[in-house]
Structure formats: C-alpha cells, structure tokens
Amino acid sequence: MSAPFDLLVVGRPSVDLMFSGLHEWPALGKDIESDGLGVCAGTSFNTPAAANRIGLRVAFVATVGNDVWSRMIRDEFVAEGLPTDFLEVEDRPLPGISVALNLDGDRGFVTHWGSADGYDAQLRARALEIITARIDARHLHAYADEAPELEAVARRRGMTVSLDAWGGPEWSSPRSLAEVLTDADVLFANEAEAAAMTGEHDAERALDALGHHCPCVVIKRGAAGALARRVALSTSVSLKRLAVNMA
C-alpha cells in the first residue's frame, strides 16, 4: 500500500513582498522606485506549493494567526489548492513578512517575524507528534538544524530527508556539520550559507566539504544557476535552472 503523502514539510510561512526592476540600491534618506512588485506566500510555503502543483500529495505542518498577513497566507492555500489538514490557525497575531529587493540578478531581504512567544517550540512539538503517530509519508523537508528530532524520527520511519539551510552569511549552530547533516539525504544552500557552514568561500570547495556529510548537495547561485553533487555518482554538475525553487 502506498504512503498517503509523498511529501511532509514543516516550517513557518511568510508573505513575500518582492520589489523588482530597481535601478539602484536604497540609501538612507533617499526614496527610489521599483518597476515591479509581486506579493505571494513564501519561505516554507514555496516547497509544498510547488510540489502540490506537480501532483504530489503534500502535508504541510504550519501555524498562522489572525492578522492580515496570516489571512493572506490562508488565501494562498486556497488559491494553490494546497491541503490544510495540518495548518493550525491561532487567535493571535502571528505576522511573517519578508521584503525582497532585486537588483542586477541578486537580492537582499528585510524580514519580520513578530514576537510570537513559543512559536518555534510549539510548532516543533506539534510536528513531532504528527510525524510520530498521525502521518505516513515518503519524504520530509525541513530547515537545517531547527528540528533534528524530526529528522531522526523520519529516518526511523523509513522517510528520506531534505534540508534547507538558512541564515545567509550567518551560521551559528553549536553542532558540527556531521551532526547537522547526519539524517539528511539532500541539502539545499545558497552560496553565502554554504560558505558560512563550511568556512570555504569558493563554491566548488564548499560543495566538496558539504558532500563529505550529505550524499546530495545543491548550492544555489542566483542568476548564475546552481552547483550540485551527488556522492553516489561522484559527479559535479552545473545546473542552469532548478525545476522547483526551494527558497
């Protein structure tokens, strides 16, 4: 009998405000204009939404609040036809907003997660209860180093595991890379995250270093595409495009 879900995702979704077509970078005291503006749910929402579009059976464990930003995320669930079986709605504001400023093929972010006391701990506890007793899935996707106990349980239950790095040029995990990636089959990281995790500022060297701890590593390079290595094949390939954007 096949598993009820192909993909289980745990994470906190945000609303992404994306300014594109900037002609210069903002400076203090100066007002600039952008040629384009996009608004959609993002962060951990991207992976389950993309998987749902290609017909995978998706379980997304997330929590939103009663504020306007949370309502926009709930509207995106409806627009995408994404199942809400494991979406919890709390009667308090839980804003999550990320502003992306796009210039010359790269981007910078300003993010606000509000002051949601206990949010992360409560989400991890609920996800752990779901993954232990209430769900059968083939694959878990989560953020690196945020919930290692989830990855361990997923592995014991026969799931494969992929992790998204986070934090940009900052990586402050008290655990070694070997510990962080012990249950991971795939790691996604951008260049800054890969450099911070390994101390290697050359993308190829960072790929090698991460490949010692994870059988498949993808380093995202913005407009330059991506680098990926699957240890089992002992190959490195430059990808011009990723079929699914796991931001």
144-156 pLDDT, tens digit each: 988 899 999 999 9
Band (pLDDT 50/70/90 cuts) for residue 28 is very high
**What CA–CA distances, in Å, run from 15 to 34, 37, 67, 193, 218?**
19, 13, 12, 22, 25
Q: How are beta strands 13-20 and 216-220 bridged, if at all?
A: unpaired
pLDDT of residue 201 exceeding 60, the answer is yes
pLDDT classification of 232: cutoffs 50, 70, 90: low
| pLDDT of 68 strictly over 60 | yes
Which residues on neighbouring strands pair with residue 19, listed in sequence order? 37, 101
Mean pLDDT of 65-73: 96
Listed range (70-84, 115-129, 197-211) with the worst mean pLDDT: 115-129
pLDDT of the residue at 27: 92
- For residue 114, pLDDT over 90 is answered with no
pLDDT above 90 (res 97): yes
What are the pLDDT digits (tens) for 155-183? 999 999 999 998 777 888 889 999 999 99
Domain ranges of the chain: 1-155, 165-247
Tokens standing for residue 60: 């997304």
Q: Is 201 helix (H, G, I), strand (E, B) or coil?
A: coil
Q: What is the pLDDT of residues 180-195, one digit of tens each?
A: 999 999 999 999 999 9
Residue 102, beta-bridge partner list: 107
Instruction: Please state which architecture CATH assigns to domain 1-155.
Output: 3-Layer(aba) Sandwich (3.40)
pLDDT, mean over the chain: 88
User: What residues contact 194, with CB distance under 8 A and at least 6 apart?
Assistant: 165, 200, 203, 206, 207, 210, 219
Q: What is the pTM of this model?
A: 0.85
pLDDT at residue 239 is higher than 90: no
| Separation between Cα atoms, residue 247 and residue 244, nearest integer Å | 9
The whole-number pLDDT of residue 119 equals 87
**Mean predicted confidence (pLDDT) in 85-95:** 94
For the cut 80, the answer to whether the pLDDT of residue 240 exceeds it is: no
Angle of CA points 166, 170, 176, to nearest 5°: 80
Number of neighbouring beta carbons within 10 Å of residue 75 = 11
pLDDT, tens only, 1-16: 356 899 999 999 999 9
Beta sheet of 36-43, edge-to-edge order? 36-43, 13-20, 97-103, 106-112
Instruction: Quick: pLDDT tens for 206-223.
Output: 999 999 999 999 999 887
Taken in order 44, 50, 52, 53, the sign of the CA dihedral is positive
Contact 62, 86 (CB under 8 A): yes
Residue 247 pLDDT exceeds 70: no
Q: How far apart are CA 46 and CA 42, in angstroms?
A: 5
CB crowding 126-135: b at 16 or more within 10 Å, else e: bbbebbeeeb
